[in-house]
A = this chain, B = another copy of it.
Amino acid sequence: MSIPCTIVGFGAVGKLLYRIVNERKLPVDTPRVFARTARTESLDGQEIAVETLSEDAFPAGGVALFAGSEGVGSVSEVWGRKAAERGCVVIDNSSTFRMDPDVPLVVPEVNADALTADTKLIANPNCSTTQMVVAIAPIHRAAGIERIVVSTYQSTSGAGGYAADIMREEARSALAGEAGKHPESPFAKQIAFNCVPLIGDPDATGYTSEERKMIYETRKILGDDSIAVAPTTVRVSVEVGHAETVNLQLRKPLTAQQARELLAQAPGVMLVDDPANPAASPTPLDSAGRDEVFVGRVRQDTSVANGLDLWVVADNLRKGAATNAVQIAEVLFEKGYLGA
C-alpha cells in the first residue's frame, strides 16, 4: 500500500531526498514538496511544484521527510511535533530533536531497534556522526570502544549546496590570481584550496557545535554513554564527501585483520583496504554519489593498548543525510510501522 509522502525543504538535501525516494522505490505516492515559499523547481528534467507549508502537508498515515535548516524558529522546530501529532511520521534531518531522550536517533545499520510501533518522530543524525558509527558499530560490538579521537575532512556541500558553488567561484578566482573569501561565503575564511578548522559555534570549552554533535550523537546511537570522544572538525576544499581519521582505543584486543573481517561483512560498509594496492584507498571523490560508507587504511595502532586506526569516507548528502532518512523509512515499512 502506497502512502502519502511529504518533503519539507528543497535545497541540496531536499532535492536528493526526492531523487532517492524514487531511486530506492520507497512505497509512497509521488512526494509533495513544501517550503516556506511556493515556487516551481526543476529536477532531473522534471518540473516540481513547491507548495507553501501548511497543516495540509502532513496527512495522518503519511511520512514526512524534513530537510530544512535548524535553530530557533526553524521549520523543524515549528512543524516537527505538530506533524507527528497529526499522525504523520516525521523523519527530521535537523539537529532539533536529536538529543531529546524521547526521540530515537537512528542509523538503520546500527540501531534500527530504537524504532517502535509508537514512533512518530525520528531524528536523522549529523552527517559526520552517521558515517563514523556505521564504520565503528561492528567494532564496538566485538571489542567495545573506550575512546575515539576523530579528525574530519568535511566537504563544503555540508553547509548547503550554495556553499559548494561558492567554493568553486573562489577556486576560479584563485586560479586567475585573485585569492580571497567570497563575500557570500558561510565559512570563516577562503575555503577553496584551504582548510578551515571551524564548523559550527564553539562553546566555553572551545568545542564547536559540530564537535559536540559527534560526541553526544555517537553515544546515543551506540547506546553507550561511557564512550569518550575527542573530535576536531575541519572544512576542506572538497565539493561532496566527508572523510575522517578515526583512532580507536578498544576495551578488548582486536587485530587489524580481525577488524577488516568484521568490516568486510558489515552492513552499509564498503571496505577498500588492499595492502597490495594502497593507492586504492578511498577518497571523498570516490564516495560522491554512492550510498555506502567506505573504510580504508585499517591499522593496528601500537601507541596504546588495543589501538586501531580507520579512514572513513562517505557522501555527506546521501548516507550523511538523504539516504539515511529514506533508509529509516524503509525500516518502518519493513517492520509494518508504516503503510500497514
Which residue numbers of A lie inside 8 Å of B, CB to CB?
147-149, 151, 153, 167-168, 171-172, 175, 179, 188-190, 193-198, 201-202, 204-208, 228-230, 232, 234, 236-239, 243, 245, 247, 256, 275, 278-286, 296-304, 307, 309, 311
Are the C-beta atoms of A197 and B304 separated by less than 8 Å? no
Q: Copies per complex? A: 2
State A285–B195 Cα separation when bound (angstroms).
8
Question: With A193-B239, A237-B193 in contact, is A206–B256 under 8 Å at CB?
Answer: yes
Chain B's closest residue to A201 (CB) is B278
Are the C-beta atoms of A285 and B237 separated by less than 8 Å? no
State A232–B275 Cα separation when bound (angstroms).
16
Chain B's closest residue to A148 (CB) is B303
Are the C-beta atoms of B275 and A206 separated by less than 8 Å? yes
Q: How far is the CB of A119 from chain B (nearest CB, A)?
A: 31
Q: How far is the CB of A256 from chain B (nearest CB, A)?
A: 7
Are the C-beta atoms of A195 and B153 separated by less than 8 Å? yes
Say what secondary structure dominates the interface of chain A.
Answer: mixed
* Chain B residues near A236 (CB-CB < 8 A): 153, 195, 236-237
* Chain B residues near A311 (CB-CB < 8 A): 197, 232
Q: How far is the CB of A309 from chain B (nearest CB, A)?
A: 6
Q: Which residue in B190, B205, B245, B285 is a CB contact (below 8 Å) of A232?
A: B245
Chain B's closest residue to A286 (CB) is B189
Task: Enumerate the 7 nearest inter-chain pairs by beta-carbon distance, A residue then B residue, closest first.
Answer: A228-B303, A188-B279, A206-B299, A151-B151, A151-B245, A230-B303, A237-B237
Are the C-beta atoms of B194 and A283 separated by less than 8 Å? yes
Are the C-beta atoms of B279 and A228 separated by less than 8 Å? no
Are the C-beta atoms of A243 and B197 separated by less than 8 Å? yes
Are the C-beta atoms of B304 and A202 separated by less than 8 Å? no
State A189–B243 Cα separation when bound (angstroms).
15
Are the C-beta atoms of B229 and A234 separated by less than 8 Å? no
Q: How far is the CB of A127 from chain B (nearest CB, A)?
A: 15
18 inter-chain pairs at a CB distance below 8 angstroms, sorted by A residue, are: A149-B303, A153-B236, A171-B193, A175-B175, A188-B280, A188-B281, A189-B279, A189-B285, A194-B284, A194-B285, A197-B243, A198-B297, A205-B300, A205-B302, A206-B298, A228-B303, A236-B237, A237-B237
